[in-house]
Amino acid sequence: MGYYLNVNNISIYVEDPYPKGVKTILFLHGWPGSHRLFEYQFDKLPQLGYRCIGIDTRGFGNSDKPFEGYDYDTLSDDVRGVVEALGLRDFTLAGHSTGGAIAARYMGRHLGYGVRKLVLIAAAVPSLIRRQDFPFGIEQERVLQIIEGTYNDRPQMLRDFGDNFFFQHTSQAFSDWFFQIGLQAAGWATAAIARTWIDEVLFTDLESIGVPTMIIHGIHDKVVPFQLAEVQHRMIRNSILVPLSFSGHGSFYEQRDEFNDTLVKFIES
Protein backbone atom coordinates (compact mmCIF):
# COMPACT_ATOMS: atom_id res chain seq x y z
CA MET A 1 0.00 0.00 0.00
CA GLY A 2 1.02 3.59 -0.42
CA TYR A 3 0.51 6.54 1.89
CA TYR A 4 1.75 10.04 2.64
CA LEU A 5 3.69 11.25 5.66
CA ASN A 6 4.08 14.87 6.70
CA VAL A 7 7.82 15.36 7.01
CA ASN A 8 9.54 18.73 7.39
CA ASN A 9 6.31 20.47 6.35
CA ILE A 10 5.92 18.58 3.07
CA SER A 11 4.15 15.36 2.07
CA ILE A 12 6.48 12.46 1.35
CA TYR A 13 5.03 9.48 -0.50
CA VAL A 14 5.86 6.07 0.94
CA GLU A 15 5.28 2.72 -0.77
CA ASP A 16 4.91 0.01 1.86
CA PRO A 17 3.10 -3.02 0.37
CA TYR A 18 3.93 -5.58 3.05
CA PRO A 19 4.15 -3.91 6.49
CA LYS A 20 4.01 -7.34 8.16
CA GLY A 21 7.51 -8.21 6.92
CA VAL A 22 9.85 -9.39 9.66
CA LYS A 23 12.94 -7.57 8.34
CA THR A 24 12.81 -4.12 6.79
CA ILE A 25 14.65 -2.68 3.79
CA LEU A 26 14.29 1.07 3.21
CA PHE A 27 15.00 1.93 -0.44
CA LEU A 28 16.18 5.37 -1.60
CA HIS A 29 15.91 5.79 -5.36
CA GLY A 30 18.26 7.59 -7.70
CA TRP A 31 17.79 10.65 -9.90
CA PRO A 32 15.45 11.28 -11.69
CA GLY A 33 13.33 8.30 -10.60
CA SER A 34 10.99 7.26 -7.84
CA HIS A 35 10.35 4.21 -5.69
CA ARG A 36 9.00 2.53 -8.85
CA LEU A 37 12.55 1.79 -9.99
CA PHE A 38 12.64 -0.97 -7.37
CA GLU A 39 9.61 -2.75 -8.78
CA TYR A 40 11.53 -5.98 -9.32
CA GLN A 41 12.61 -6.02 -5.69
CA PHE A 42 9.13 -5.23 -4.39
CA ASP A 43 7.76 -8.07 -6.54
CA LYS A 44 10.00 -10.70 -4.98
CA LEU A 45 11.40 -9.76 -1.59
CA PRO A 46 8.07 -9.55 0.29
CA GLN A 47 7.50 -13.17 -0.78
CA LEU A 48 10.56 -13.96 1.34
CA GLY A 49 9.15 -12.12 4.34
CA TYR A 50 10.80 -8.73 3.88
CA ARG A 51 9.11 -5.41 4.43
CA CYS A 52 10.19 -3.24 1.49
CA ILE A 53 9.64 0.49 1.97
CA GLY A 54 10.22 2.95 -0.84
CA ILE A 55 10.42 6.71 -0.36
CA ASP A 56 9.81 9.17 -3.18
CA THR A 57 12.39 11.91 -2.67
CA ARG A 58 10.92 15.40 -2.43
CA GLY A 59 10.48 16.79 -5.92
CA PHE A 60 10.14 13.32 -7.46
CA GLY A 61 7.50 10.66 -7.95
CA ASN A 62 4.37 11.25 -5.89
CA SER A 63 5.95 13.42 -3.19
CA ASP A 64 5.47 17.16 -2.84
CA LYS A 65 7.63 19.27 -5.12
CA PRO A 66 8.75 22.39 -3.26
CA PHE A 67 11.13 24.77 -4.96
CA GLU A 68 13.83 24.38 -2.30
CA GLY A 69 15.39 21.69 -0.13
CA TYR A 70 17.50 19.63 -2.53
CA ASP A 71 20.75 19.67 -0.57
CA TYR A 72 21.87 16.41 1.01
CA ASP A 73 21.29 17.65 4.56
CA THR A 74 17.62 18.37 3.91
CA LEU A 75 17.11 15.18 1.93
CA SER A 76 18.65 13.08 4.71
CA ASP A 77 16.47 14.93 7.23
CA ASP A 78 13.44 13.83 5.17
CA VAL A 79 14.60 10.23 5.52
CA ARG A 80 15.03 10.67 9.27
CA GLY A 81 11.48 11.99 9.45
CA VAL A 82 10.14 8.89 7.70
CA VAL A 83 12.20 6.58 9.90
CA GLU A 84 10.87 8.23 13.05
CA ALA A 85 7.28 8.37 11.82
CA LEU A 86 7.30 4.64 11.07
CA GLY A 87 9.29 3.71 14.16
CA LEU A 88 11.89 1.82 12.12
CA ARG A 89 14.71 0.04 13.95
CA ASP A 90 17.42 -2.38 12.87
CA PHE A 91 16.62 -1.91 9.17
CA THR A 92 18.73 -2.16 6.05
CA LEU A 93 19.17 1.17 4.23
CA ALA A 94 19.64 0.72 0.48
CA GLY A 95 20.39 3.74 -1.70
CA HIS A 96 20.86 3.83 -5.46
CA SER A 97 22.90 6.54 -7.21
CA THR A 98 21.82 9.88 -5.68
CA GLY A 99 19.86 7.81 -3.19
CA GLY A 100 23.21 6.34 -2.20
CA ALA A 101 24.52 9.85 -1.58
CA ILE A 102 21.49 10.63 0.57
CA ALA A 103 22.07 7.38 2.46
CA ALA A 104 25.71 8.32 3.08
CA ARG A 105 24.71 11.75 4.39
CA TYR A 106 22.09 10.07 6.60
CA MET A 107 24.81 7.87 8.07
CA GLY A 108 27.01 10.89 8.75
CA ARG A 109 24.46 13.51 9.78
CA HIS A 110 22.13 11.23 11.73
CA LEU A 111 24.76 8.76 12.91
CA GLY A 112 23.03 5.94 11.07
CA TYR A 113 19.94 6.22 13.26
CA GLY A 114 18.13 2.85 13.20
CA VAL A 115 20.34 1.37 10.48
CA ARG A 116 21.64 -2.17 10.97
CA LYS A 117 23.21 -2.60 7.53
CA LEU A 118 23.88 -0.33 4.55
CA VAL A 119 23.73 -1.10 0.83
CA LEU A 120 25.18 1.35 -1.69
CA ILE A 121 24.01 0.64 -5.25
CA ALA A 122 25.92 2.52 -7.97
CA ALA A 123 26.16 5.28 -5.39
CA ALA A 124 27.21 8.80 -6.43
CA VAL A 125 29.70 9.13 -3.57
CA PRO A 126 32.00 10.54 -2.36
CA SER A 127 31.81 12.88 -5.37
CA LEU A 128 30.11 12.25 -8.69
CA ILE A 129 32.34 14.75 -10.44
CA ARG A 130 36.11 14.96 -10.73
CA ARG A 131 37.73 17.59 -8.57
CA GLN A 132 41.20 19.04 -8.19
CA ASP A 133 42.08 16.50 -5.49
CA PHE A 134 39.76 13.72 -6.71
CA PRO A 135 40.53 12.33 -10.20
CA PHE A 136 37.54 9.97 -10.37
CA GLY A 137 33.93 10.38 -11.50
CA ILE A 138 32.68 12.36 -14.47
CA GLU A 139 33.54 15.79 -15.81
CA GLN A 140 31.59 18.70 -14.36
CA GLU A 141 30.70 19.74 -17.90
CA ARG A 142 28.45 16.69 -18.24
CA VAL A 143 26.44 17.79 -15.23
CA LEU A 144 26.17 21.33 -16.56
CA GLN A 145 24.83 19.90 -19.82
CA ILE A 146 22.19 17.94 -17.89
CA ILE A 147 21.12 21.11 -16.08
CA GLU A 148 20.96 23.05 -19.36
CA GLY A 149 19.02 20.22 -20.99
CA THR A 150 16.58 20.16 -18.08
CA TYR A 151 15.76 23.83 -18.54
CA ASN A 152 15.57 23.72 -22.34
CA ASP A 153 14.24 20.27 -23.34
CA ARG A 154 13.76 18.05 -20.32
CA PRO A 155 12.09 15.18 -22.24
CA GLN A 156 15.05 14.93 -24.64
CA MET A 157 17.50 15.14 -21.73
CA LEU A 158 15.68 12.25 -20.05
CA ARG A 159 15.73 10.19 -23.26
CA ASP A 160 19.47 10.73 -23.61
CA PHE A 161 20.01 9.82 -19.96
CA GLY A 162 17.94 6.67 -20.34
CA ASP A 163 20.05 5.59 -23.31
CA ASN A 164 23.12 5.51 -21.04
CA PHE A 165 21.43 3.98 -18.00
CA PHE A 166 21.39 0.30 -18.91
CA PHE A 167 24.13 -1.93 -20.31
CA GLN A 168 21.80 -4.69 -21.46
CA HIS A 169 19.14 -4.18 -24.10
CA THR A 170 15.69 -3.20 -22.84
CA SER A 171 12.42 -3.26 -24.75
CA GLN A 172 10.91 -0.08 -26.15
CA ALA A 173 8.02 -0.52 -23.74
CA PHE A 174 10.42 -0.68 -20.79
CA SER A 175 12.30 2.36 -22.07
CA ASP A 176 9.03 4.30 -22.30
CA TRP A 177 8.10 3.24 -18.75
CA PHE A 178 11.47 4.41 -17.45
CA PHE A 179 11.05 7.71 -19.31
CA GLN A 180 7.63 8.33 -17.77
CA ILE A 181 9.05 7.87 -14.27
CA GLY A 182 11.55 10.66 -14.97
CA LEU A 183 8.79 12.93 -16.24
CA GLN A 184 6.99 12.64 -12.88
CA ALA A 185 9.67 14.80 -11.29
CA ALA A 186 9.53 18.58 -11.23
CA GLY A 187 11.92 20.27 -13.62
CA TRP A 188 13.29 22.51 -10.89
CA ALA A 189 13.93 19.50 -8.64
CA THR A 190 15.63 17.65 -11.50
CA ALA A 191 18.01 20.56 -12.05
CA ALA A 192 18.54 21.27 -8.35
CA ILE A 193 19.68 17.72 -7.58
CA ALA A 194 22.12 17.89 -10.49
CA ARG A 195 23.48 21.13 -9.04
CA THR A 196 23.92 19.37 -5.68
CA TRP A 197 26.25 16.87 -7.39
CA ILE A 198 28.56 19.81 -8.07
CA ASP A 199 28.12 21.63 -4.77
CA GLU A 200 28.55 18.80 -2.26
CA VAL A 201 30.98 16.02 -1.34
CA LEU A 202 30.62 13.11 1.08
CA PHE A 203 34.15 12.11 2.10
CA THR A 204 33.57 12.66 5.81
CA ASP A 205 30.22 10.90 5.64
CA LEU A 206 31.77 7.75 4.17
CA GLU A 207 34.50 7.69 6.78
CA SER A 208 31.87 7.86 9.53
CA ILE A 209 30.07 4.68 8.43
CA GLY A 210 30.46 1.92 10.99
CA VAL A 211 27.78 -0.62 10.07
CA PRO A 212 28.37 -3.56 7.72
CA THR A 213 28.14 -2.18 4.19
CA MET A 214 27.72 -3.83 0.80
CA ILE A 215 28.63 -1.94 -2.36
CA ILE A 216 26.89 -3.20 -5.51
CA HIS A 217 28.03 -1.67 -8.79
CA GLY A 218 27.77 -2.61 -12.46
CA ILE A 219 31.18 -2.61 -14.10
CA HIS A 220 29.73 -1.05 -17.28
CA ASP A 221 28.16 1.91 -15.48
CA LYS A 222 28.29 5.03 -17.69
CA VAL A 223 26.49 7.26 -15.18
CA VAL A 224 28.49 6.60 -12.00
CA PRO A 225 31.82 5.04 -13.02
CA PHE A 226 32.79 1.78 -11.33
CA GLN A 227 35.96 3.46 -9.99
CA LEU A 228 33.78 5.22 -7.43
CA ALA A 229 32.74 1.85 -6.01
CA GLU A 230 36.40 0.99 -5.52
CA VAL A 231 36.95 4.29 -3.72
CA GLN A 232 33.94 3.60 -1.48
CA HIS A 233 35.30 0.15 -0.64
CA ARG A 234 38.63 1.64 0.41
CA MET A 235 37.03 4.35 2.52
CA ILE A 236 34.31 2.38 4.33
CA ARG A 237 35.60 -0.01 6.94
CA ASN A 238 33.78 -3.33 7.17
CA SER A 239 32.58 -3.07 3.55
CA ILE A 240 32.35 -5.61 0.75
CA LEU A 241 32.34 -4.82 -2.97
CA VAL A 242 30.13 -6.81 -5.36
CA PRO A 243 30.91 -6.01 -9.02
CA LEU A 244 28.19 -7.06 -11.44
CA SER A 245 29.62 -8.01 -14.82
CA PHE A 246 26.52 -7.59 -16.97
CA SER A 247 25.13 -4.34 -15.60
CA GLY A 248 25.38 -0.65 -16.18
CA HIS A 249 23.70 1.81 -13.81
CA GLY A 250 20.57 -0.31 -13.33
CA SER A 251 21.74 -3.59 -11.81
CA PHE A 252 18.52 -3.87 -9.80
CA TYR A 253 16.85 -4.59 -13.16
CA GLU A 254 19.61 -5.84 -15.46
CA GLN A 255 20.72 -8.60 -13.06
CA ARG A 256 17.67 -8.55 -10.85
CA ASP A 257 17.80 -12.20 -9.74
CA GLU A 258 21.47 -12.01 -8.78
CA PHE A 259 20.88 -8.58 -7.24
CA ASN A 260 18.01 -9.84 -5.09
CA ASP A 261 19.85 -12.99 -4.03
CA THR A 262 22.97 -11.00 -3.12
CA LEU A 263 20.92 -8.50 -1.12
CA VAL A 264 19.15 -11.23 0.84
CA LYS A 265 22.38 -13.09 1.61
CA PHE A 266 23.96 -9.89 2.89
CA ILE A 267 21.02 -9.05 5.14
CA GLU A 268 20.92 -12.58 6.56
CA SER A 269 24.69 -12.84 7.13
User: What distance separates the 2 farthest-apart alpha carbons in the chain?
Assistant: 48
pTM for this model (two decimals): 0.98
CA 11 to chain centre: 19
DSSP state, 249? S
Render 29-86 in DSSP notation, one character per residue.
PPTT--GGGGHHHHTTGGGGTEEEEEE--TTSTTS---SS--SHHHHHHHHHHHHHHH
Dist. CA 36–CA 34, nearest whole Å: 5
pLDDT, residue 194, reads 98
Task: Give the active site residues.
Answer: 97, 221, 249
pLDDT, residue 34, reads 98
> What CATH number is associated with residue 88?
3.40.50.1820
1 pLDDT higher than 90: no
Helix axes 187-199, 140-165, angle to 10 degrees: 120
pLDDT, residue 147, reads 98
Of all residues in the chain, what percent carry a pLDDT higher than 70? Answer: 100
Dist. CA 192–CA 174, nearest whole Å: 27
Q: Give the domain range for residue 136.
A: 2-268
User: Torsion over CA of 77, 103, 29 and 256, rounded to 10 degrees?
Assistant: -150
Residue type at 72? Y
CA 59 to chain centre: 14
What is the average pLDDT value for the chain, to the nearest integer? Answer: 98
Helices and strands: H and E segment counts in the chain: 10, 8
In our burial notation (b when 16+ CB lie closer than 10 A, e otherwise), range 18-53 reads beebebbbbbbbbbbbbbbbbbebbebbbeeebbbb
Dist. CA 247–CA 235, nearest whole Å: 23
Of all residues in the chain, what percent carry a pLDDT higher than 90? Answer: 100
Average pLDDT of the residues in 19-34: 97
Dist. CA 33–CA 247, nearest whole Å: 18
Average pLDDT of the residues in 46-56: 98
How many domains does the chain fold into? 1
